[in-house]
Structure 1
Amino acid sequence: MRIIINNQNFVLHPCGAAFWEEKKILLISDLHLGKIAHFRKYGMAIPERAIPENFNRLNNILELFDAETIIFLGDLFHSKINNEWNLFSDWTRTITQQLILVEGNHDIISKKYYTDLNIEIRSEIIIDDFLLTHHPTEKENLFNFCGHIHPGIKLKGLGKQFLSLSCFFKKPNQLIFPAFGEFTGNFHLIPEENDKVYALIKDEVIEIKN
């Protein structure tokens, strides 16, 4: 789905990433690499084959868009270093895009690991009249792209049926990104009058009307 914000074009992809066409920037939030290995270490029965899925999704999205830069909107790596870092390190050597990380609350490992991979680290980024952060942030005259919340929407069907979907959650001056990573969960938000919800459904993004 293509949406226009401040006269700029953004393509929302069902994997949870967005492509900024004019700037050739791919925006991704809350990848949480290392989370699956972390859970497995403490006995959670998550199949090991789930680990490569995040990298498969990254590769698939890069094949679709001619991105020159990838900006991660925080929580790139879930916690302490584990074997998924080696997979991420290997992946960075297969791509040509510039990598930038806007620090999130889970990005606790030493910055040296990122700088060794030529990944630039920022607390926030301002591009034209857009503010890129991890936590939702309001600044006058700036439209905020952010993550952190892992937004989801709960839809009620017939017979007390409920469907929970990840979504892009747009407020008048803010777009909250869904979590890109596997096994991240959702926090259900309730849209207000001027909010828009773009839900991720298999191979498409659809707007959910209030």
Structure 2
Amino acid sequence: MSTGADHALRWGGGQLWLCPERAAFWPDERVLLVADFHLGKAHSFRRLGVPVPGGTTEANLARLGALVDRWQASEVVFLGDFLHSTQARGGPGVPAFAAWREARPTLRLTLVRGNHDQRAGDPPPELGIGVVDEPHARGPWALCHHPQPRPGQAVLAGHLHPGALVGGTGFDRLCLPAFHGRGEVLVLPAFGEFTGTKAVVREPGDQCFVTDGVQVFRVP
């Protein structure tokens, strides 16, 4: 259920709840939409000798599990980039996700392949994730990884890791994860903890909703 911090949005003829945890929920079908999970990204960086913080996989899985429980979701659809790289397949993230998955045997999981998935390969079979190519038609939307307009159809996508600058000027500004809508395309923020954001250059008519992790609010 909504906590009051979620933001209701009518998009392309369908109802969504934009969640502070950087996901969206489709109540009609009880589907949770998650973009850019990037499982194993921190491990991949460590393999290259880059020191990065630990615990990101555990944080991602805890947040995902809390969302599934809160909304009583029947399915999670990953909008691309589930695995970060081929190196991630041999890291600790896969068994951690397998344990998370084992605790939720009736939850349906679907991945819409993204650019990282093309390189890393489909998720290991033990994770129980169905895989489809984009565009994946579901309800009123085309579910994609790449945010490309489709004639006569609204799109939900990821890939860009959108953020929006809020605050004052100079060092008094923050770039917060954002849901960014332009035309008929809504781009979700990256779900993964260790993914980063890129401030979008907004144009007239765009819709932008940022999350501080506690609440979603619209940016004028």
TM-score bracket, normalised by the shorter chain, equals over 0.9
Q: Tell me which amino acid in the other structure corresponds to 2:11.
A: I
Q: Tell me which amino acid in the other structure corresponds to 1:147.
A: G
Match 2:182 to one of 158, 163, 171: 171
Q: Quote the Cα distance in structure 1 between the aligned partners of 2:57 and 2:127.
A: 20
Match 1:73 to one of 69, 79, 102: 79
CA contact (8 A) 1:129 1:141 kept: no
Match 1:139 to one of 122, 127, 150: 150
CA contact (8 A) 2:79 2:157 kept: yes
Are 1:9 and 2:15 counterparts? yes
Q: Please name the residue that 1:86 is paired with.
A: 95
Q: Quote the Cα distance in structure 1 between the aligned partners of 2:43 and 2:37.
A: 14
Q: Quote the Cα distance in structure 2 between the aligned partners of 1:169 and 1:9.
A: 16
Q: 1:156: Cα distance to partner?
A: 4.7
Spell out the pairing of 1:100-179 with structure 2 (5 A cutoff).
Answer: 100-107=110-117, 108-111=119-122, 113=124, 115-124=125-134, 125-158=136-169, 161-179=172-190
Q: 1:50: Cα distance to partner?
A: 3.2
Q: 1:56: Cα distance to partner?
A: 0.9
Q: Secondary structure at the residue paired with 1:148?
A: coil
CA contact (8 A) 1:73 1:134 kept: yes
Q: Quote the Cα distance in structure 1 between the aligned partners of 2:154 and 2:94.
A: 32
CA contact (8 A) 1:136 1:176 kept: yes
CA contact (8 A) 1:37 1:51 kept: no
Q: Quote the Cα distance in structure 1 between the aligned partners of 2:109 and 2:83.
A: 14
Q: Please name the residue that 1:28 is paired with.
A: 34
Gaps of 5+ in 2: 1-6
Structure 1 residues 143 and 160, CA gap change in structure 2 (3 angstroms): same
Q: Secondary structure at the residue paired with 1:47?
A: coil
Q: Tell me which amino acid in the other structure corresponds to 2:16.
A: F
Q: Tell me which amino acid in the other structure corresponds to 1:104.
A: G
Structure 1 residues 119 and 190, CA gap change in structure 2 (3 angstroms): same
Number of equivalences:
208
Are 1:194 and 2:205 counterparts? yes
Q: Secondary structure at the residue paired with 2:62?
A: helix
Q: 1:69: Cα distance to partner?
A: 1.1
Q: 1:109: Cα distance to partner?
A: 3.2
Q: Secondary structure at the residue paired with 2:20?
A: coil
Q: 1:46: Cα distance to partner?
A: 2.2
Q: 1:112: Cα distance to partner?
A: 6.6
Q: Please name the residue that 2:191 is paired with.
A: 180
Q: Secondary structure at the residue paired with 2:148?
A: coil
Q: 1:41: Cα distance to partner?
A: 2.5
Q: Quote the Cα distance in structure 2 between the aligned partners of 1:142 and 1:35.
A: 32
**TM superposition score normalised by structure 2:** 0.88
